[in-house]
């Protein structure tokens, strides 16, 4: 026997492995993802043609089973049953499984039947779009795809209007302008970012208000899937009446200087001006 023979890789523990795949640039596959894909017993995927190209790029050959959340219950159950003795990797066509991609029902069924589930971090278009956009990222809400029908789209946006966070949607090229129009009608003062072709050669991220972006994409129709981001509501300076009411409340338990400093910190208004106003209130 040749001393050059390579040892077989260790067999994975049976169960479900959620494997993130590149969203455009194949170089973004992680070392851990390659390891799991090379050692698993098979791959559940949205489209065997798309996943087949990825596996070929990695020099791998694995059994593949088409799976999405519309698969029949019996097909999903067969897949879950197989994981009692086999390691199955779940991938989407691009990005992280279950982020607007299949896997929700499969993971829940596995957990209900005590099948081990392992999630591998990796590429996610929503996160790439957020970091690229420069919009506030201390708080954000991912809301998937906006509804296709105009009324439902507007209702969804109206429900999210008061959310104090950057909103992240996925959108398609043909529907982008309609979504921009709806956002402009419901949230006219909000800054928007359109991120597309992420991680690819022609990656693009444009920011602006609805009207300007609509005008651009009317003459430059985009293709492919898009990350559409809407900045949080703008903070408005409190009115004189609001400031006065806050001062009066603060003066009930604080000294004049303390009340002025408290309201200044809460509103961003000038502390000296607030102190003068507080002194007037105290003299009433």
Answer whether residue 7 shows pLDDT above 80.
Answer: no
Q: How many CB atoms lie within 10 A of CB 150?
A: 11
Give me the mean pLDDT over the 39-51 stretch.
Answer: 96
Model pLDDT for residues 80-121, shown as the tens digit of each residue: 999 999 999 999 999 999 988 889 999 999 999 999 999 999
Res 266: pLDDT: 72
| 61 CA to centre of own chain | 31
Q: What is the mean pLDDT of the chain?
A: 91
pLDDT at 234: 77
pLDDT, one tens digit per residue, over 143-202 is 999 999 999 999 999 999 999 999 999 999 999 999 999 999 999 889 999 999 999 999
Residues in contact with 216: Cβ distance below 8 Å, sequence separation at least 6, in sequence order: 206
Provide the pLDDT for residue 70: 79
- The predicted-structure confidence for 254-284, as pLDDT tens digits, reads as follows 889 988 888 887 777 888 989 999 999 988 8
So what's the pLDDT on residue 11?
84
Determine the pLDDT at residue 237.
65
Query: What pLDDT does residue 1 have?
Result: 43
Whether the CA torsion 276, 278, 282, 284 is positive or negative: it is: positive
Average pLDDT over residues 23-35: 96
Residues 49-71: tens digit of each pLDDT: 999 999 999 999 999 999 987 78
Contact 91, 51 (CB under 8 A): yes
Q: Global pTM?
A: 0.79
DSSP per-residue codes, the chain:
--TTPPPPPPPPPSEEEEE-B-SS-GGG--HHHHHHHHHSSEEEES-HHHHHHHHHHTT----EEE--TTS-HHHHHHHHHHTTTSEEEE--SSBSTTSSSS-HHHHHHHHHTT--EEEE----HHHHHHHHH-S--SSEEEEEEPPSSHHHHHHHHHHHTT--SEEEEEEEGGGHHHHHHHHHHHSTT--EEEEESTTSTT-EEEEE-HHHHHHHHHHS---SEEEEEEPPPPPPPPPHHHHHHHHHHHHTTS-HHHHHHHHHHHH---HHHHHHHHHHHHT-
């Amino acid at each position: 026997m040749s001393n050059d023979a390579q040892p077989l890789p260790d067999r994975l523990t049976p169960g479900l492995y959620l494997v993130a795949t590149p969203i455009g640039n194949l170089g973004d596959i992680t070392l851990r993802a390659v390891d799991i894909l090379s050692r698993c017993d098979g791959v559940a995927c949205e489209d065997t043609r798309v996943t087949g190209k990825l596996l070929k790029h990695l020099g791998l050959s694995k059994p593949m089973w088409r799976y999405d959340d519309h698969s029949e219950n019996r097909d999903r159950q067969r897949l879950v049953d197989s994981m009692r003795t086999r390691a199955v990797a779940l991938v989407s066509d691009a990005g992280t499984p279950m982020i607007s991609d299949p896997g929700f029902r499969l993971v829940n069924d596995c957990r209900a039947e005590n099948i081990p589930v392992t999630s591998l971090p990796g590429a996610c278009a929503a996160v790439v779009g957020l970091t690229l956009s420069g919009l506030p990222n201390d708080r954000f809400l991912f809301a998937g795809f906006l509804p296709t029908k105009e009324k439902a789209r507007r209702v969804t946006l109206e429900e999210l209007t008061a959310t104090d966070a950057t909103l992240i949607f996925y959108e398609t090229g043909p529907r982008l302008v309609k979504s921009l129009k709806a956002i402009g009608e419901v949230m006219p003062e909000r800054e928007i970012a359109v991120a597309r072709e992420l991680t690819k050669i022609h990656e693009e991220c444009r920011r602006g208000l609805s009207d300007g972006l609509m005008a651009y994409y009317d003459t430059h129709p985009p293709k492919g899937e898009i990350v559409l981001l809407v900045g949080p509501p703008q903070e408005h300076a409190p009115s004189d009446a609001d400031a006065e009411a806050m001062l009066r409340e603060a003066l009930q338990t604080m000294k004049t200087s303390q009340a002025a400093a408290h309201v200044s910190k809460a509103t961003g208004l000038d502390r000296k001006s607030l102190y003068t106003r507080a002194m007037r209130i105290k003299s009433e």
